[in-house]
Structures are given as C-alpha cells and as structure tokens.
Amino acid sequence: MKNLTAQVQMLGGFCLTIGDISITNKVQQAKKPWTILEYLVYYHDREISADELVDVIWSDDNNVNPTNALKTLIFRTRKLLEPFNLPTQQLISQNRGSYCWNSEVQLSLDSSEFEDLCELSSQSGLSEVQQLETLLKALDLYKGDFLPKAAWEPWVIPVSRHYHSLFIHAAMRAIKLLLAEDRWDDIIALCRHAITIEAHNEDFQYHLIYALYCSGHQRQALEQYRIMVDSFYNEFAITPSERMTDLYKIIQDREHGVNTDLSLIQKSMQEEQALLGAYSCEFSVFRDIYQLERRAITRTGDSIFLGLLTLSLEDGSLPKSSVLTRAMGHLGNAATSSLRHGDVYTRYSVSQYMILLPSASYENGEMVMQRIIRNYKKAYLRKDIVVHYSLLAVPPIENEA
C-alpha cells in the first residue's frame, strides 16, 4: 500500500477517492459508520483512542456497551472501504486499543488545502495579483460547508464554523481585489457561489447587485434585488439596509437610456399586465411618492393619511418565520384587493405594511384599515396572530416659498 494517495473531499460533502474508485455518503446509508470514517480521516495524523470514538458516537447514550458496540461499528466502517480492493484492516489499523488511518496511504484533504491557501494569501511579500490568484484557488475548493450531512454532530460544529469563517473572510478579500480591477463577471460568479453558502450575507448580495449593474445588466440587478428582499423577509425575517435600498434607487434611476420617442417611453412605463387593486412598490419608491403627496397637499390643502399595519402574536412578539411569511402574504393580498387603484402601499419591515390614503378623512382611513383586516381574517383563520393598525395625517411642507 506504500506510495498510495487518497483524495478526500470534506467541503460540501464527503468523498474518499483512491485511484479511480470513490466512495461517498450521498447514498442513504447508516450514519454511524460514516461518522467513524470521517473522524478517522480528518484526524488521520494521530491515533484515536477507543474512549474518544465512543464519546464521538454515543456521548448521550448510556445504554450502550461501548466495547462491543465499537468493535461492531469498526467492522461496519471497514466494510465501507471494500470497493478499494485493499486490506481494510490495514486501512483502518488498530494498535493497543486505539484506531487510526494507515499512514502508508497518504491523505490529501480539500479542507487542509483550502486552509493552507487562505494562510498563504495573507503572507507578507505577495503582490495583490498573487494574493487574488491564491484566494481564488482557495475559494474554488470550497464547494460547501464542512461535512454538511453531519452538520449537527458536536465534533463537526466547531470545525465547520472555522472553515465557514475562513471562507467568508477570503471571499470578501477576493471581492475587494476584484473590484479594484473592475472584474465584474468574476465578482458576479464569486458572489453567486458565496450566496449559496450564506444567503443572508448582505455584503455578498450587495456586491452581486452592484456588479450586475456595473456590467450593464441593470434589469438583472433589479431582479436580484427583489429576490434578495423577498428572501430576507420570508426566510430570515430581516430587512435590507439603507445602503442596499440606496443602491436599488441608483440602479432604478439610471436604468433608462436616451430615447426621443415619447410614445415608446410611455409604452415602456405602462404595467405589463392589467392588475387589480392597489399599487405595491419598493419602500424607496413609496418614500418618493410620499414626498410628492406632501408637496401636493401643501398647494391644494387636501388631506392624506399614512397607515401602518403590523402583524404579531398576541403577546406582541413575532411568529416563527414560516408562519410570518404566510400571514404577510395574506395581509398583502388583502391590502391589494381592499384598496383603490390609485392607492399605494409598501412592505416596510418583516411584519409591517405601510399605506398612503389620499383624499381621505381620519374616519374613512379607519374604515379602509378595518376592511383590510377583515379581508385578511377571511383568508387566514389563525387566531393567535393579530393585526394592529395606526393612522397619522401627513403634514404639509412648512414655509413653502
């Protein structure tokens, strides 16, 4: 078995390859033998005592006879290695009550190579070009988090966090270096990959949208923004930062080129399909409409009210994410169907909608808000979720010249 080298993938999944033969735990199989194999492979540079392996596998189970159970499990683990047509008792060797991977079969772990490249990229004396080249090599190895099928194993959790943190740091360093060279396509590819690892990282989302915009793909940038907002609201119950909404407004303002045909411009501004009910828009657009309405009532003296709808549990806390997503969907549909075509509303936070009610009295505004709540309750029957509303008159602009 001398001079053999096994390639090991641990980032994004486990796969052990010797020559042309690979074994992987992608197939639904017993978990414990794979855990033993993964542990022995990862800590291949030392002997592992029987007590340590017992603690890894049965730390919370006091009804197991550890000696017999471990012998059986080692036998089953060696069975996993039979496709290599090598002596399995030598691949996983035993010595005076301890177990280890046979050092004659050298292991090349993607996790170790990834960490080595991350450290190398930070060494003094490297040019920015060399730093970037090294970082991109490292990031290419990171197919996903460490042993994702064993993500909640106690021994995996700290190791996974370590590599995950290295990945985030390396990715942000690479993005910064790519930005300096205006390498938008590379930034887009890197950010898309990074988002599969950590979807709620706003830095990756921001740089993806920014790179799409700078590379001339404004519509894709706007679509990615909308995907990100929906994901942040529905999956993670968080709202985009002011930096992100400012970027959205910049992209939206600059999406259009020069066009002297007014009829074509008018056509491009029409809604793609006839929609019923009120107009739903991003908060940045809502804020602009609010300012326009303030200017209008300063001249006309008309009244306009700002309404706020808030979902919560009876004790005032937020429901769990899946319930909140469903409830907010029903509340948004109720707002669309209950308001007039000329009314405007926006999602203000993970649990709130804001509405503009022009040409309304306070009493009429209350009737509108109560109608929305009634229609919401007809569509969504959960009793533990309540909807609160508040109304406030929009003040005119003072001291207008």
Closest CA to 134 of 145, 119, 147, 148: 119
Q: Check if the beta carbon of residue 65 is closer than 8 Å to that of residue 3.
A: no
pLDDT value of residue 9 = 97
Task: Split the chain (401 residues) into runs of 10 and give each run's mean pLDDT.
Answer: 84 94 80 93 93 85 73 91 88 88 92 97 92 97 95 94 97 96 95 93 94 91 88 77 85 60 56 64 86 86 90 89 88 91 87 87 91 92 89 79 43
Written as one string, the DSSP assignment of 91-103 is HEEEETTEEEE-T
* Sign of the torsion formed by the C-alpha atoms of 260, 262, 264 and 269: positive
What does the alpha-carbon distance between residue 132 and residue 175 come to, in Å, rounded to a whole number? 9
Closest CA to 141 of 118, 165, 107: 118
Q: Check if the beta carbon of residue 240 is closer than 8 Å to that of residue 228.
A: yes
DSSP code at position 11: B
pLDDT value of residue 397 = 79
Count of residues for the chain? 401
pLDDT value of residue 62 = 64
pTM for the model: 0.75
pLDDT value of residue 276 = 62
Q: Delineate the domains of the chain, giving CATH numbers in brackets.
A: 4-109 (1.10.10.10), 110-253 (1.25.40.10), 297-393 (3.30.70.270)
Using a 10 angstrom Cβ sphere, with 0-12 exposed, 13-18 middle and 19 or more buried, the burial of residue 68 is exposed
**Any alpha helices (H) in 254-361, and if so which ranges?**
262-269, 283-300, 321-338
Residue 312 φ then ψ, to 5°:
-165, 170
Which two tokens mark 46? 């030392």
Q: Rounded to the nearest 5 degrees, what angle is found at the Cα of 232, between the Cα atoms of 227 and 235?
A: 105
β-strand pairing of 4-9 with 105-109:
parallel
| Cross-strand pairs, 330 | none
pLDDT value of residue 208 = 96
Residues 174, 179, 184, 190: what is their CA dihedral angle, to the nearest 10 degrees? 20
pLDDT value of residue 401 = 43
Using a 10 angstrom Cβ sphere, with 0-12 exposed, 13-18 middle and 19 or more buried, the burial of residue 322 is exposed
